[in-house]
């Protein structure tokens, strides 16, 4: 943590990745609890020499910095005080107000958790917000299951192999296996097949099914013995997600208490039944014939939910909730990989390797850890905001949200036109996301563009050169809007929200926006700067102009084709805002009153016209 980051955090609040302690003369007794909490969660900074009073942080300084630092580092290396050795780094900041010690506590590995104190596992902590909470008994069990040398889904079970399997599921699995792996199913019978592929293992001369075997292919009663809760709870609501309340009844629901093969079949059937556009599903592969982006994203998200859940957690149920504006996935069990790692190619460590491999063999779990990337790619192709991931380390849960909200809006295209910047499609996406969120990191850029790290960084560098964003923080992987744009885009976000509220959401291709945006363009008498800031949505007349000036047009042509007779009013009310907003340009800008003057779309205007056509096409498809 460098000095600038420290100062920035002092002006903020304590949260899940930083803890301030006064520690003027000695190491506080609570310091090791914070070490345990950070190590069991996602890491964080422990800072000595800062006092908190009424929510305000004040640097008081550490009196004997060497003694406090040595004492603290000695404690964290004492196996009697803390259960694992953690490579803790410290930084000394000699500030005018006093000396501050900042230590970074890394997250422990899966095998090291839970990290506890005084040789007592009951003294393990997790970080929640700005608190260090003692782990509950169930939370300790979750840590221990994930840390076990023999993975939970690979454990053999003492049950009768002649009765524990569902014949129809085994038959379906073998058929799908043969189609995905030609020539590899040479087993004479089901028992030989199951043994060949690890579903049955020999223990003391007796064949036993693994827990994964029962979960994937078991008969109902045996599945319920192994997993005494629902495999998945799928709920459909007819309203938007913001209206969700646990007391509101769903419109349709699917409760699955069967093996994972049957669960997958039932979820696909549920999706098929409620899909906005009818489609066909191959009976063998359970894949949609045309595999459009929306189905690809849903399919991969649903499979991830089934195969990566914590099957030892009987207190929480995986849930899929369909809303009008988004689909939410909740899973008990956090991902072992970070968000950035989830989006990168290559295999990741998983909770249930036997279950994952069983699905991979039949082509229902992509190789190389590409499932999450496929979710993001599908959503990107639809032009939506990137899926939202919440990998909740303290709760040990995973949430994925697929929001049906377009990344690029009319107001954002107009704002980019007014900047005069020449942005590629990928640069425009990144900039639009940044104007929405105010901050973006390199992982966000990769999620938005689908590019590898090096190429994503080049996109950011090009935006930096154009003075649209600046790097923030020590790593240089976090970015914010350039200072001269922050107030402007904050105002435009408010304006866009007001427009959307008036018209009930994003602008409709049907052109019902003129009344809602009259104030946005009826300001001809004020200065150009104020006018440009207010151009957040076009009127129906302005959209007509955009449609006409893909080739140069005179003002006479424009007034005639839009049905206007008063040329001066037309120019002031409709055309000049487009000129000021960078959507339309004059062919002879140095001679505004030239009789040869024509009006034509700028590059930004062309992009806006294409966006409009895409919106109209999407609207027509939804209506059909």
> 221 Cβ partners below 8 Å, 6+ apart?
none
Confidence of residue 405 (pLDDT cuts 50, 70, 90): very high
Rounded distance between C-alpha atoms, residue 342 and residue 260, angstroms: 23
Residue 516 clears pLDDT 80, i.e. is over it: no
Residue 249 clears pLDDT 60, i.e. is over it: yes
Residue 499 lies inside a defined structural domain of this protein: no
Whichever domain contains 387, its CATH number is: 3.30.565.60
**253 — phi, psi (to 5°)?**
-150, 145
Task: Provide the pLDDT for residue 366.
Answer: 66
**441 — phi, psi (to 5°)?**
-120, 175
Task: Provide the pLDDT for residue 508.
Answer: 39
3-state secondary structure 548-578: HCCCCECHHHHHHHHCCCCHHHHHHHHHHHH
Number of domains making up the chain: 4
Residue 236 lies inside a defined structural domain of this protein: yes
Predicted TM-score (pTM) of this structure: 0.83
- Higher-pLDDT residue of 165, 424: 165
Task: Provide the pLDDT for residue 523.
Answer: 34
Same domain, 517 and 556: yes
Q: What is the CA radius of gyration of the chain?
A: 30
Element spanning 173, H or E: helix 167-180
Average pLDDT over residues 545-563: 93
Residue 517 clears pLDDT 50, i.e. is over it: no
Task: Provide the pLDDT for residue 513.
Answer: 39
Residue 622 clears pLDDT 60, i.e. is over it: no
Same domain, 17 and 128: yes
Task: Provide the pLDDT for residue 390.
Answer: 95
Rounded distance between C-alpha atoms, residue 210 and residue 157, angstroms: 6
Same domain, 271 and 211: yes
Rounded distance between C-alpha atoms, residue 281 and residue 290, angstroms: 9
Average pLDDT over residues 213-236: 97
- Higher-pLDDT residue of 48, 517: 48
Burial class of residue 182, CB neighbours in 10 A (0-12, 13-18, 19+): exposed
Residue 166 lies inside a defined structural domain of this protein: yes
Residue 497 lies inside a defined structural domain of this protein: no
Last residue within a domain, chosen from 348, 381, 405: 405
Buried b (16+ CB within 10 A) or exposed e, 442-467: bbbbbbbbeeeeeebbebbebbeebe
Q: 226: which DSSP letter?
A: H
Same domain, 272 and 356: yes
- Higher-pLDDT residue of 422, 223: 223
Q: Are 399 and 328 in contact (CB under 8 A)?
A: yes
Q: Are 70 and 41 in contact (CB under 8 A)?
A: no
Same domain, 423 and 340: no
Task: Provide the pLDDT for residue 162.
Answer: 94
Same domain, 469 and 527: no
Confidence of residue 278 (pLDDT cuts 50, 70, 90): low
Whichever domain contains 426, its CATH number is: 1.10.10.10
Same domain, 57 and 100: yes
Residue 228 lies inside a defined structural domain of this protein: yes
Q: Which of 173-187, 241-255, 356-370 has the lowest mean pLDDT?
A: 356-370
Residue 438 clears pLDDT 90, i.e. is over it: no
Task: Determine what percent of the chain is predicted with pLDDT higher than 70.
Answer: 88
Residue 610 lies inside a defined structural domain of this protein: yes
Average pLDDT over residues 315-329: 97
Confidence of residue 248 (pLDDT cuts 50, 70, 90): confident
Same domain, 346 and 473: no
> 240 Cβ partners below 8 Å, 6+ apart?
323, 324, 325
Q: Which of 67-81, 84-98, 457-471, 533-547 has the lowest mean pLDDT?
A: 533-547
- The rounded Cα 481 to chain-centroid distance in angstroms is 21
Q: Which of 53-62, 171-180, 242-251, 421-430 has the highest mean pLDDT?
A: 171-180
Rounded distance between C-alpha atoms, residue 386 and residue 375, angstroms: 9
**235: nearest Cα among 264, 256, 262, 220:** 256
pLDDT mean across residues, the chain: 87
Instruction: For tokens 């780094």, name the residue.
Output: 89
**480: nearest Cα among 492, 496, 467, 493:** 467
Q: Which of 25-29, 254-258, 314-318, 470-474 has the lowest mean pLDDT?
A: 470-474
- The model's pLDDT over 81-125, given as tens digits with 9 standing for 90+, comes to 999 999 998 899 999 999 999 999 999 999 999 999 999 999 999
> 259 Cβ partners below 8 Å, 6+ apart?
166, 169, 214, 215, 216, 217, 218, 219, 220, 223, 231
- The model's pLDDT over 494-513, given as tens digits with 9 standing for 90+, comes to 444 544 444 333 333 334 33
Task: Provide the pLDDT for residue 526.
Answer: 32
Last residue within a domain, chosen from 93, 117, 147: 147
Rounded distance between C-alpha atoms, residue 45 and residue 39, angstroms: 11
Same domain, 551 and 592: yes
Task: Provide the pLDDT for residue 290.
Answer: 62
Same domain, 14 and 135: yes
Rounded distance between C-alpha atoms, residue 293 and residue 539, angstroms: 32
Same domain, 365 and 463: no
- The model's pLDDT over 93-103, given as tens digits with 9 standing for 90+, comes to 999 999 999 99
Task: Provide the pLDDT for residue 442.
Answer: 94
Instruction: For tokens 């969700």, name the residue.
Output: 244
Rounded distance between C-alpha atoms, residue 8 and residue 116, angstroms: 31
3-state secondary structure 498-553: HHHHHHCCCCCCCCCCCCCCHHHHCCCCCCHHHHHHHCCCCCHHHHHHHHHCCCCE
Pairing of strands 319-322, 232-236: parallel
Q: Are 537 and 414 in contact (CB under 8 A)?
A: yes
E-strand ranges in 49-119 read 50-53, 56-59, 89-95, 98-105, 116-117
- The model's pLDDT over 368-391, given as tens digits with 9 standing for 90+, comes to 567 899 999 999 999 999 999 999
Average pLDDT over residues 525-538: 49
Task: Provide the pLDDT for residue 370.
Answer: 74
Last residue within a domain, chosen from 355, 370, 405: 405
Domain that holds residue 100: 3-147
Residue 621 clears pLDDT 90, i.e. is over it: no
Task: Provide the pLDDT for residue 28.
Answer: 95
Average pLDDT over residues 36-60: 93
Residue 498 lies inside a defined structural domain of this protein: no
Same domain, 574 and 430: no
> 610 Cβ partners below 8 Å, 6+ apart?
none
| Sign of the torsion formed by the C-alpha atoms of 334, 335, 340 and 343 | negative
Element spanning 304, H or E: helix 293-308
Residue 519 clears pLDDT 50, i.e. is over it: no
At 465 the three-state DSSP class reads helix
Task: Provide the pLDDT for residue 231.
Answer: 97
Residue 289 lies inside a defined structural domain of this protein: yes
């Amino acid at each position: 943590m460098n000095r600038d980051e420290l100062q920035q955090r002092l002006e903020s609040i304590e949260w899940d990745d930083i803890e301030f302690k006064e520690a003027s003369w000695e190491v506080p007794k609570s310091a090791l609890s914070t070490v345990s909490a950070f190590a069991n969660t996602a890491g964080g900074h422990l800072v000595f020499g800062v006092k908190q009073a009424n929510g305000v942080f004040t640097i008081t300084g550490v009196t004997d910095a060497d003694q406090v630092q040595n004492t603290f580092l000695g404690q964290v290396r004492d196996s009697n005080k803390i259960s694992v050795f953690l490579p803790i780094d410290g930084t000394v900041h000699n500030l005018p107000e006093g000396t501050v010690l900042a230590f970074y506590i890394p997250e422990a590995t899966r095998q090291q958790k839970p990290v506890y104190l005084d040789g007592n596992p009951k003294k393990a902590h997790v970080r929640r917000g700005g608190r260090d909470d003692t782990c509950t008994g169930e939370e300790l069990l979750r840590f221990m299951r994930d840390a076990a040398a023999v993975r939970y889904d690979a454990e053999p079970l003492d049950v009768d192999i002649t009765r524990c399997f569902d014949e129809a599921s085994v038959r379906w699995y073998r058929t799908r296996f043969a189609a995905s792996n030609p020539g590899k199913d040479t087993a004479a019978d089901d028992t030989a097949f199951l043994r060949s592929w690890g579903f049955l293992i020999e223990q003391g001369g007796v064949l036993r099914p693994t827990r994964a075997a029962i979960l994937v292919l078991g008969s109902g009663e045996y599945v319920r013995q192994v997993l005494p809760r629902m495999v998945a709870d799928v709920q459909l609501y007819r309203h938007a997600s913001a209206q969700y309340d646990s007391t509101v009844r769903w419109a349709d629901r699917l409760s699955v208490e069967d093996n994972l093969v049957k669960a997958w079949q039932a979820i696909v059937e549920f999706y098929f039944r409620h899909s906005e556009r009818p489609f066909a599903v191959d009976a063998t592969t359970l894949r949609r014939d045309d595999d459009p982006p929306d189905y690809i994203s849903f399919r991969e998200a649903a499979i991830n939910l089934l195969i990566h859940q914590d099957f030892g957690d009987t207190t929480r149920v995986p849930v899929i909730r369909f809303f009008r504006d988004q689909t939410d996935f909740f899973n008990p069990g956090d991902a072992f990989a970070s968000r950035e790692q989830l989006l990168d190619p290559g295999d990741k460590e998983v909770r249930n390797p036997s279950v994952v491999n069983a699905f991979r063999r039949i082509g229902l779990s992509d190789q190389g850890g590409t499932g999450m990337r496929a979710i993001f790619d599908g959503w990107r192709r639809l032009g939506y905001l990137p899926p939202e991931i919440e990998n909740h380390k303290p709760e040990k849960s995973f949430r994925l949200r697929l929001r049906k909200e377009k990344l690029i809006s009319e107001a954002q295209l107009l704002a980019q036109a007014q900047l005069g910047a020449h942005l590629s499609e990928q640069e425009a996406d990144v900039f639009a996301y940044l104007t929405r969120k105010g901050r973006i990191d390199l992982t966000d850029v990769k999620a938005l563009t689908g590019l590898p790290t090096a190429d994503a960084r080049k996109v950011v560098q090009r935006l930096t050169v154009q003075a649209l964003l600046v790097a923030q923080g020590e790593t240089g992987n976090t970015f914010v809007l350039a200072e001269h744009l922050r107030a402007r885009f904050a105002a435009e976000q408010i304006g866009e929200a007001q427009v959307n509220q008036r018209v009930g959401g994003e602008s409709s291709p049907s052109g019902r926006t003129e009344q809602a945006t009259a104030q946005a363009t009826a300001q001809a008498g004020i200065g150009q700067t104020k006018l440009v800031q207010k151009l957040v949505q076009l009127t129906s007349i302005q959209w007509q102009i955009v449609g006409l000036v893909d080739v140069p047009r005179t003002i006479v042509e424009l007034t005639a084709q839009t049905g206007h007779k008063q040329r001066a009013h037309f120019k002031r009310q409709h055309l000049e805002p487009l000129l000021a907003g960078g959507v339309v340009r004059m062919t002879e800008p140095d001679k505004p009153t030239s009789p040869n003057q024509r009006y034509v779309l700028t590059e930004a205007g062309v992009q806006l016209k294409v966006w409009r056509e895409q919106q109209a096409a999407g609207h027509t498809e939804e209506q059909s």
